[in-house]
Structures are given as C-alpha cells and as structure tokens.
Structure 1
Amino acid sequence: MPKSLAGQMALLLGLALLVAQIVNFALILNERQKLTLAQTQGPAINRFVTVATDLRQAPAEFRDAVIEDNSRRGARFAIAGASAVPVQAQRHPQIEARLTQALATAGIRAGEARATEVTERRRPRSGTGKAEEHRILILSARLDSNAWLNGRLVIPRPDPFLTLRLAAATLLLYLIVLGASSLIAIRIARPLRDLARAAERFGGRGTPALVEPRGSADLRRALEAFNAMNRRVVALLDEKDRMLGAIGHDLRTPLASLRIRVESIEPESERQRMGEIIDEMATMLEDILVLARSGRSREEERVMDVTALVDALVEEYREMGHDVTLATSAREVLKVQPNLLRRAIRNLIDNGLKYGESVSISVRRDGESVGIEVLDNGAGIPPEQLEHVLEPFYRVEESRNRATGGTGLGLSIARAVAENHGGTLSLDNAPGAGLRATLKLGPTG
C-alpha cells in the first residue's frame, strides 16, 4: 500500500473502478452480442416464417411460384423430402427454439426445426473481383410428414471490432474517472501534507508556523484551527519564558544575599557547609532554567566547525588536569547554537568524569547528521536504567549528594539540546569500557 493519503485513495478508487468497469464491460458486451444476434438472425427467421405461411395458404399448384418468388435478395428456399441440415451438423438449439416459437406464433405446427450456420466464399454477381466470405444461415422445418421447407439465407457478418471498441471505450472511461479521482485525492492530500510539514517545523520559537487554509470547507476549518492553536501555544511558551525569567531573577537575588550573610557565620565548618548548600541551590536553579528554555533558546544558529568546538572544550578540561582526549576526527561543519551545544557536551563530559577516570571523544559524520560520541571508562549503567537516566531528576546514584549524584538534569539538558538541533541523545554500555553517550545532531544547515 502507498504511504501517502493520495496514493492510497488513488489505489483504492482504481481497484474499485477496475472491478466496476470489468463487470460493466461484461454486461454491455453480453447485451450487444444478444442485440447483434437479434439483428442478424431475427430478419432471417421472420423471412423463413413468412415463406412457410405463404406456402400453407397457397394452393398446391402455386407453391413452386411462392418458392421462386421468395428465392431472391440473398435467400434460397426449397421444398424437399429431407432436411438441408444433417443430424450430425453443428446445430444451434437457441435458433431452433426461436424458429419453432415463431412458426407456432404464425399458426404453423412444425414437426421439427433445425438450424446451422456455414461460411461460403462467393464472387460478386459481375463474376469479376475477389471472392468474399458470406455467413449462411440454413433453416429447415418439417411442415408435414413428407415435406421439409429448407432455406439458405445470407446474414450480416458480426462486427469484428465490437469487443475491441467496447474495451477501448471502457478503458477510456476508466482512465478519465481514475484521473479525476486522483486529482481530487491529491487536492485533498496537499493541505494535509502542508499541515504535517508545519507541525514538523514547529519549534516554539519566533513566528508560529502557519498553514495557508485551502481545499474543502472542512479542511479549511481544520487548518484555521491548527493556525489558531499554534498562536496559542507560542503565546503560552512566551508567557512561560517570561515567568521563568522572573523566577530566576527573583531567586538569584535572595541566594546572593544569603551568600553574603553566610560569610560572617562562625564556625568555619558551618559556614562552609551552608555555602555548599547555597551553591547547590544556585546550580540546580540554573540547570532547571536551562532545561526549561532549551527547546526555545533565543540563541541564533551559526555555521561552525563542530570538531573545533569539541577540541576547544577538551583543551579546557585538560588544562584543569582531567584525562579527556579527542580522537582524530575530520572537520565537520554544522549549523548549531554554540552555547547550547557547549553546555550539552560539558554535561556529557562531566557525567563521564564523575563515574569514570577518563573520557574519550570522537566526532564523525553519519549521512546528513553529525555524531559526537563521549565514552568513559566507568562501570556503565544497568541496561534497564539506560532510558530512565535521560528523564529529569532521575539518578542512578540514590544519594542526595551533588558530588556523587548530581541534580539529575545533566543528561536531560543534553537530550533537549540534541532535539533542539533536530537530533537525538542515545546511551549504551560499550563492551569492555563504560558508558557511551552519542549526541547526534540533525541535518546540516
């Protein structure tokens, strides 16, 4: 089955029309054949019955004159002691039945009726020219015990192109109806295709992706409703961003005030503990805001070398004394949001260093996408938890200590950044190593 709506409608309509046209063709052909037989055989039977009636009414001395008078214009009649149709000849029961009925209607009771058809080649009356084939209908009826009326009547040849002309007309009608149906299906499917594309392009940023209302009244109403829904969704997301910005601003100020007040608290161990709690709250607040805004980042996309961006991050970690390496990778250019992408890669590196001692990174192209693979040498993650760790606030390490368990938002932020770039984030346990995180970025811009 075709995948598109227009293709499926065209296929189903085509099959339905094909069956209907085949049935219609068979019925019309059967009726036309019956009509042709009636037009060719009917006059011959009627003429034979007329001659039989004249013979019945004529005195015995005038019967030869009746036979001679009717034996013209492609017909030959004779009275004989035997039928002109042999018993072993290929007879036509239907014609014989019609002949018997016609004779009975004329008041003539025939003892037996026979009919057959032969083909003869005859030259024109002028005696010159090519011989032509003629269909001869031989009719024979026993009028009494000793006399048979035999007739040889030339009947028109059936139209040799009847089936071909009917088939051509049926095919033409089929193509016209199928073509019109396909155009209607395409006209219906085109607005739906535009609707699907607009929904796929919708990112919640900037101007809503609107669809031009067209097509039937039902489709126009659906498209207008979709456009109105897009506007409402964008308005709600804008309101959400404003609310998050206000929350972030309102919470950062009290946290900064608390940090200043904590500096004067004694003893030092208590001051240090309170400072760590404030830092954890500030970091968690920042992670929550980044995750909430990642799908609607206002950062402009830029075409840049992703491999160079990763290499710069690796150098930063190496300068801080971490064992982070970048495998030799080709230059891969992609249209990205640099700050968001850096945040996602940092989260993956931090996650690897938290549960392992070293991290290796590689950048490679996969068709139209670019994949950034971050591999650590830790213990990995149980297979049943690989999908759950991408959920916000889910942590494999059950403690609330940020030093060991974190906030549970790092991988969620990385996945949101990947989806914002039209890609995905996948996790798997590498054989003999640790956890492998693959950040796949969408098609190049």
Structure 2
Amino acid sequence: MTLRLIPDSVLGRTALVLVAALLLSAAAAVALFTIQRQEALTAIGGRNAAERVGGLVSIAEQTAPERRQATLRNLETARFRVGWGTAPVVTEDETLGLAGYVRTVLEKGLEGREILISTRPGPLGGPATGLGGGGRGHGMGPHMGEGDGLGGPGGPGGLGGPGGPGRIFPPALRISVKLNDGSWLNVLSPFDFGDTIWRPRFVLPLLLALVLVTVVALLAVRKATRPFALFATAAERLGVDVAAPPMAEDGPREVRQAVQAFNTMQGRIARFVQDRTQMLAAISHDLKTPITRLRLRAEFVEDEELRAKMLSDLEEMEAMIASTLAFARDDAASEPRLRVDLAAMVQGLVEDMEDLGARCSYSGPRDLVIQARPAALKRAITNLADNAVKYGGCAHVTLAPSEDGVALTIDDSGPGIPQADFERVFAPFVRLEASRSRDTGGSGLGLAVARAAIRAHGGDITLANRPEGGLRVTVSLPRG
C-alpha cells in the first residue's frame, strides 16, 4: 500500500520529497516561532511586572500603613495581583531563567532590599501574605484595617477565590519584596502567552506562501527533470531510426555531458551500420561476377537435368544475396512516411494472392489511414502472408483499430511453431525444418525483414499458436 502511494516517475518522487521538505520546514519554523514568541511574551511580561513592582514598592513605603492595603488593591488588575503581609508568598527562591532576568531588572531600582522570585506554582500563604485570606480582619492587625487578602470572595479578577494557606495558585510569576518596615509586598503575575497564532491573519499568509513556493518548486522540478523525458524519446527514436537527428546539447552541465555521450553513441552506431551495409554491398557486388560466369558456363552443359539444377542453384544464390543486401540496407528506415490506407493495401494484397490461387481472406474496415512507409510496410505484410500460405496452407487476415493504433492478425491452418522457437524464428537465415522444407524456397530472411520493417514503424510482431490449430501472427502499428 505504501509503495502504491509513492510515484514511480522521477518528477513525481522529486516533487513528493520537495513538498514533504517544505511542509516539514514550515512546521519546524512555526514551532520555533511559537516557542520564541512565548519566550518573548514571557520576558516582556516579566519586565513589565518588575517595573510595576518597583513602582509599587515606592508607593507602599510612602503610604501610611493604615491606608496601604486599600491603596495597593486599587492598583491591582485582573492580570496583576498585589498583597501586603507579614510573610513572603515565595517559598522557593529561583535565580535562573525568567526569575533571574526579573531579579536583574528589579535589583537596578531596589538595591539593598531582599527580593524573592519564583515561577513555580505553590500555596498563596493565607492572610500572612495578603493574598490567600478568606475573611475580614486578617493581615497585619492594625496595619491591615478591615481589608481582606486577595483570596477573599469578590477579589478582583477572580484569581484568588476562597481558600487559605493551602490554596495552590496557577503557574505565575511570584515576586516578594521586603519593605523598609519589615513587611512584605507580594505580587502574582500569571503568565500571559498571548492569543493563539492560529488566526486567519497568520494562517492565510502562511498557506499562501506554501502554495506559491510549492508551485514554483514543482515548475522548477519539472523543468529540471524534462531532460529525462527527452532522453527516453531520443532512445526510442534511435531504436526506430538510427539516422535520427542528434539531441540538442543544452541545459545544465551534467545534462550536456549526458547528451554529448548519447549523441556520440548514436554516431558510432550509425557508422557501424553504414560500414556493415557497405561491406555487404561490396560482397554482393563481387559475388555477382562469378555467379554470372557460372551461369554462362552452365549453359554449355549438355545434360539438361544437370543444367537445370545448376541454373536453379544460381538463381537461389542471387535471391539470397539480394535479400541479404536489402535486409542489411534496412530500406524501411530510409523511406519517408506518408499517409497510407492500410485497409486498402491489405485488401489489394489478399486479392492478388487469391488471383494466384492462394487461399486468402480479409475481414476488417474498408479504409483505415495511418502514417507509414508504404513500400516497407507492404513488403513486411507480403512476407507474413506468403509464409502463412506456404507453411500453413492459407492466410486469414484481420484488421482492426486498437487502443494504441491498429492491430493486424494473420491466421493459418498449419502445424504451428513450438513456443520455444517464437523468438528464434525471427533471426536471419533461420528455417525451422520441422515445418519448412527447402522445396518451398526462401532464404530464411522473410520474418527478419518483416519484423525490422514493423519495428522501424514503432510497432512489433508477436506469434501465438491458436487453440484450434495453426499459427497466429499479430502485427501492432501506431497510427502516427
């Protein structure tokens, strides 16, 4: 299941890796931004709390004890609670992190005073801290008046609530400063991490940026992987036409090097084929002279039966040389492509063979136009039909459109061919003696020439034995 989700193309896999990397990097960036944002907000909140505490210390020491509690409570907010009592609310002093930073700020304005700071949750301390009392008359006796601590009912902001010395307050910045008269100013400032970042004004630009970067990256990947498709096209074209024009040498350095190597290989193959053709043409030309001399000498043989056999052998030699030269030249690859009515061509071949007494039939459309090399294609189909008649007794030709182009089938009623010989029978000069006799003639090049011509069109030939008997030859051809 996992393998099915992974694209099988270089473009798809590169795009998948790229998109995954973009998403992971975006997720890491958002996570890092969130952490740093929280740290920044916490630091800003701690500095603001420290500055306010410095001002509150000054106000508390300048205010008479009987009015100090009321004055301090008037300076509270829902996010900043103040208490005044005989004990500090901080039980575990801290010196690192946020507590250390706030201490540094406070000590600049409150030199010489005892300062306790903590970021851990803990009890409010009851009336002794001025933060956790639950009723009137608690605090510092005459100095507290009738004011209750921050934990009393109706306390501002609802952060105190009913409770007492055992009440656990949520995580907050706790600051306790000892005043000149020995009392303690206690402050609770809950951590404020701000609103969530997952809001439209943050999410929408992020998604838009991801989409734009992904689109641009995919276009870049598509352009970068395009040479692979060009290589595939060039390789397929080379398999059909060895004389095809070379690829354009452009693009990145590695692509140019690969193109140069491909063009060099194509040139070497073309020269090899040309040299082979020239060699076979020279051999064929040189053999014609002695064959002609032998033909002339055979005419002087008085024994008519011997003379006939010699002339027949010489004709067979000339036919083999001509077939070999035609196969070596690969005339199918040099002939230009034209619009050809394949149905009309096949019907004409079948009618010609019927006129010669062969058992042939045709079934298919009356017209079917494709792009092809007429002479090469006609020679290939003729060879296949001749083989069917010679070795199978008949040729039933069927033509029909297919998904990729057209399909031509030729059925005969012969003994068929062993499946192990399906590929070997296409090799040049191979004749299967089990089903073929030298009395039928031929050089063993018919199927080789036919497959070379069909493959030069971008198609192929396959063989199969029919269940009811006989051989079926299937020719697949593209329309273009």
Q: Which moved more, 1:410-419 or 1:44-53?
A: 44-53
Q: Which moved more, 1:177-186 or 1:248-257?
A: 177-186
Q: Structure 1 pair 48/99, CA: closer, same or farther in 2 (3 Å)?
A: farther
Measure the CA separation in 1 of the matches of 2:273 and 2:310.
35
Report if aligned partners of 1:25, 1:166 keep a CA contact under 8 Å in 2: no
Report if aligned partners of 1:306, 1:333 keep a CA contact under 8 Å in 2: yes
Q: Which moved more, 1:344-353 or 1:110-119?
A: 110-119
Report if aligned partners of 2:295, 2:311 keep a CA contact under 8 Å in 1: yes
Report if aligned partners of 2:242, 2:269 keep a CA contact under 8 Å in 1: no
- Root-mean-square deviation (Å): 4.5
Paired residue type of 2:71: E
- Which residue of 308, 311, 317 maps to 1:275? 311
User: What is aligned with 2:15?
Assistant: 10
Structure 1 residue 322 displacement after superposition: 1.8
Measure the CA separation in 2 of the matches of 1:119 and 1:286.
112
Report if aligned partners of 1:423, 1:441 keep a CA contact under 8 Å in 2: yes
Structure 1 residue 29 displacement after superposition: 0.7
| Partner-residue secondary structure (3-state), 1:439 | strand
Measure the CA separation in 1 of the matches of 2:242 and 2:419.
39
Q: Which moved more, 1:427-436 or 1:212-221?
A: 212-221
User: What is aligned with 2:27?
Assistant: 22
Structure 1 residue 345 displacement after superposition: 1.9
Measure the CA separation in 1 of the matches of 2:426 and 2:62.
115
User: What is aligned with 2:233?
Assistant: 197
Q: Which moved more, 1:18-27 or 1:298-307?
A: 298-307
After superposition, what is the alpha-carbon deviation per residue over 1:158-186, rounded to whole angstroms, capped at 9, x for unaligned? Answer: 24547665555654554455445334323
Question: Do structure 1's residue 358 and structure 2's residue 394 form an aligned pair?
Answer: yes
Question: Do structure 1's residue 285 and structure 2's residue 321 form an aligned pair?
Answer: yes
Q: Which moved more, 1:182-191 or 1:421-430?
A: 182-191
Report if aligned partners of 1:140, 1:148 keep a CA contact under 8 Å in 2: no
Instruction: Map 1:102-117; keep pairs closer than 5 Å.
Output: 102=103, 107-108=114-115, 114=124
Structure 1 residue 80 displacement after superposition: 4.7
Q: Structure 1 pair 153/188, CA: closer, same or farther in 2 (3 Å)?
A: closer
Report if aligned partners of 2:46, 2:173 keep a CA contact under 8 Å in 1: no
Instruction: Map 1:13-412; keep pairs closer than 5 Å.
Output: 13-45=18-50, 47-48=52-53, 51=56, 64=67, 68=71, 72=75, 77-80=82-85, 98=99, 102=103, 107-108=114-115, 114=124, 120=157, 149-151=185-187, 158-161=194-197, 167=203, 170-171=206-207, 174-175=210-211, 177-202=213-238, 208-294=244-330, 297-327=333-363, 329-397=365-433, 402-403=438-439, 406-412=442-448
Structure 1 residue 426 displacement after superposition: 0.9
| Partner-residue secondary structure (3-state), 1:8 | helix
| Partner-residue secondary structure (3-state), 2:399 | strand
- Aligned residues between the structures: 420
| Partner-residue secondary structure (3-state), 1:202 | helix
User: What is aligned with 2:468?
Assistant: 432
Report if aligned partners of 1:322, 1:358 keep a CA contact under 8 Å in 2: yes
| Partner-residue secondary structure (3-state), 2:462 | strand
Q: Which moved more, 1:11-20 or 1:234-243?
A: 234-243
Q: Which moved more, 1:267-276 or 1:42-51?
A: 42-51
Q: Which moved more, 1:29-38 or 1:310-319?
A: 310-319
User: What is aligned with 2:457?
Assistant: 421
Paired residue type of 2:114: G
| Partner-residue secondary structure (3-state), 1:340 | helix
Structure 1 residue 14 displacement after superposition: 1.3
Paired residue type of 1:282: E
Structure 1 residue 428 displacement after superposition: 0.6
Measure the CA separation in 2 of the matches of 1:400 and 1:324.
20
Identity of aligned residues (%): 30
Paired residue type of 2:288: R
Q: Structure 1 pair 420/23, CA: closer, same or farther in 2 (3 Å)?
A: same
Q: Which moved more, 1:192-201 or 1:101-110?
A: 101-110
Measure the CA separation in 2 of the matches of 1:380 and 1:70.
109
User: What is aligned with 1:125?
Assistant: none
Measure the CA separation in 2 of the matches of 1:177 and 1:398.
68
Paired residue type of 1:409: L
Structure 1 residue 423 displacement after superposition: 0.8
Q: Which moved more, 1:303-312 or 1:62-71?
A: 62-71
Report if aligned partners of 1:280, 1:402 keep a CA contact under 8 Å in 2: no
Q: Which moved more, 1:8-17 or 1:149-158?
A: 149-158
Report if aligned partners of 1:395, 1:405 keep a CA contact under 8 Å in 2: no
Q: Structure 1 pair 405/37, CA: closer, same or farther in 2 (3 Å)?
A: farther
Structure 1 residue 378 displacement after superposition: 0.8
Structure 1 residue 72 displacement after superposition: 3.9
Report if aligned partners of 1:77, 1:151 keep a CA contact under 8 Å in 2: yes
Measure the CA separation in 2 of the matches of 1:97 and 1:154.
13
Report if aligned partners of 1:113, 1:140 keep a CA contact under 8 Å in 2: no
| Partner-residue secondary structure (3-state), 2:334 | coil
| Partner-residue secondary structure (3-state), 1:374 | strand
Report if aligned partners of 1:372, 1:439 keep a CA contact under 8 Å in 2: yes
Paired residue type of 2:36: E
After superposition, what is the alpha-carbon deviation per residue over 1:236-268, rounded to whole angstroms, capped at 9, x for unaligned? Answer: 433433333333322233323322322222423
Measure the CA separation in 2 of the matches of 1:417 and 1:119.
96
Structure 1 residue 219 displacement after superposition: 1.8
Structure 1 residue 436 displacement after superposition: 0.7
Q: Structure 1 pair 51/293, CA: closer, same or farther in 2 (3 Å)?
A: same
